[in-house]
């Protein structure tokens, strides 16, 4: 299993290209932004499932990256983490693409947690200068993925 972090633009390009290896996608959107297009599954792009999630880019109530005031209900939740777990459980050993708007914070936090839970090593995210993982995303996803059934 590989885990790749992308921006929304890169994810949309991915959807329009041919890929012969199946992948699943975690598509993180801001609940207050209307996007012109959404990622999609097709035989051509190899995406077998997409889990949409909607939460703001902040790790605590207060200001988000767009300088909007956000509350606890605007942030990633345990329900979001459960949806991620269900997707990973349904498609074990399938490559994972995680995207958000910029591919820097929310998606890298989720990707790092998946890597830590599944491989024990999240260093490809935390050692890269291009990512600034949202630590709330990391903690909530990791907590869910590390729970015993």
Distances (CA, A) of 59 to 36, 84, 130: 26, 18, 18
Instruction: Please give the model's pTM, rounded to 2 decimal places.
Output: 0.96
Q: In whole angstroms, what is the distance from residue 120 CA to residue 115 CA?
A: 7
For tokens 């988000």, the residue is: 64
Asked if 114 and 143 touch (Cβ cutoff 8 Å), the reply is no
Looking from the CA of 118 toward its CB, the CA atoms found within 13 Å total 20
In tens, the pLDDT along 27-48 reads: 999 999 999 999 999 999 999 9
DSSP letter at 73 equals G
**Mean pLDDT, rounded, of the chain:** 96
Instruction: Summarize pLDDT for 117-134 with one digit per residue, the tens.
Output: 999 999 999 999 999 999
What percent of the chain is predicted at pLDDT more than 90? 97
């Amino acid at each position: 299993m590989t885990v790749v972090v992308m921006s929304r633009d890169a994810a949309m390009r991915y959807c329009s290209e041919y890929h012969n290896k199946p992948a699943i996608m975690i598509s993180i959107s801001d609940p207050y932004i209307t996007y012109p297009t959404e990622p999609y599954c097709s035989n051509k792009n190899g995406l077998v499932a997409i889990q949409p999630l909607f939460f703001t880019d902040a790790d605590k109530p207060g200001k988000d990256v767009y300088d909007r005031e956000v509350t606890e209900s605007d942030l990633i939740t345990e329900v979001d983490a459960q949806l991620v777990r269900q997707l990973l459980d349904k498609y074990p050993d399938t490559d994972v693409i995680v995207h958000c708007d910029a591919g820097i914070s929310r998606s890298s936090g989720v990707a790092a947690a998946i890597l830590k839970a599944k491989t024990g090593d999240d260093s490809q995210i935390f050692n890269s200068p291009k990512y600034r993982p949202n630590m709330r995303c990391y903690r909530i996803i990791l907590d869910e993925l590390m729970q015993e059934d």
